[in-house]
Amino acid sequence: MITIKSAKEIDLMRKAGEITALALQKVGEAVVPGVMTAELDKIAEETIRKNGAIPSFKGYPGYAEAKPFPGAICASVNEEVIHGIPGSRVLKEGDIISVDTGAIYRGYHGDAARTFAVGMISEKAAKLIQVTRESFFRGIGKAVAGNRIAEISAAVQEYVEKNGFSVVRDYVGHGIGAEMHEEPQIPNFAVKAKGPRMEQGMTLAVEPMVNEGGSEVRTLDNLWTVVTEDGSLSAHYENTIVITRGKAIILTVLDN
């Protein structure tokens, strides 16, 4: 069931979103060659807790036989698409890292992701990051009350493929609120089913996951980390938004 949020609930989600955005900002400032992903995880968790929230991801139940997720962030490097586990990996010049994190504030979630360059990166890697980010904005340009979810999906896919990249099809965006994952699902590719119409007060996590090569992915033996099947780079960009009568409002930003 899709839940419509009250003004009070949206205010709580805005606060959760601001804390999430602050954590990503602090992590981004620390992304340099030589840093361990565990250090980035510590920065995010300390930022979230210091601001009165709880890390959404830490202890999140795993699928099948996977153990609960151990970090406050997903730290996905290079060919890792999503759900990279932070640890002893040291970032090096030319890497890219996708950082996904979330915060729970008074029972409501914020969820966002960014892909950062580690030092100097290739032109193609830089383009991948830029196209992934822009595809999000192309998508939410369609996120208006009365439009259908499928219009977001088609706009993301069209922009990504026009620029020579591919969208991941095995994982999608989602509704969000009192739960991190709510209805509806938000694919990053066009589907035959048009999906529900958006209504004022819907809150959604729109998150293009874009591969340099093919769209196929697989999960590593840790049962969490998803990588590109062909070993190509992947980027991720996500925000929590709220649907209005006009332009969608992004909740996972600072000074909103």
pTM above 0.85, yes or no: yes
Profile the chain (256 residues) by mean pLDDT over runs of 10 residues: 96 98 98 98 98 98 90 98 98 98 98 98 98 98 96 98 98 98 96 87 98 98 97 98 96 86
Task: Tell which phi-psi region holds residue 236, choosing left (phi > 0), alpha (psi between -120 and 50) or beta.
Answer: beta
| pLDDT computed for residue 165 by the predictor | 98
What pLDDT shows up at residue 117? 98
- CA–CA distances in Å: residue 141 to residues 1, 154, 159: 24, 11, 12
Q: In the chain, which ranges are continuous DSSP H helix?
A: 7-30, 37-50, 123-140, 149-162
pLDDT of residue 256: 53
CATH code that applies to domain 7-250: 3.90.230.10
* The pLDDT value given to residue 38: 98
Instruction: Domain ranges for the chain, please list them.
Output: 7-250
Tokens of 231: 């070993």
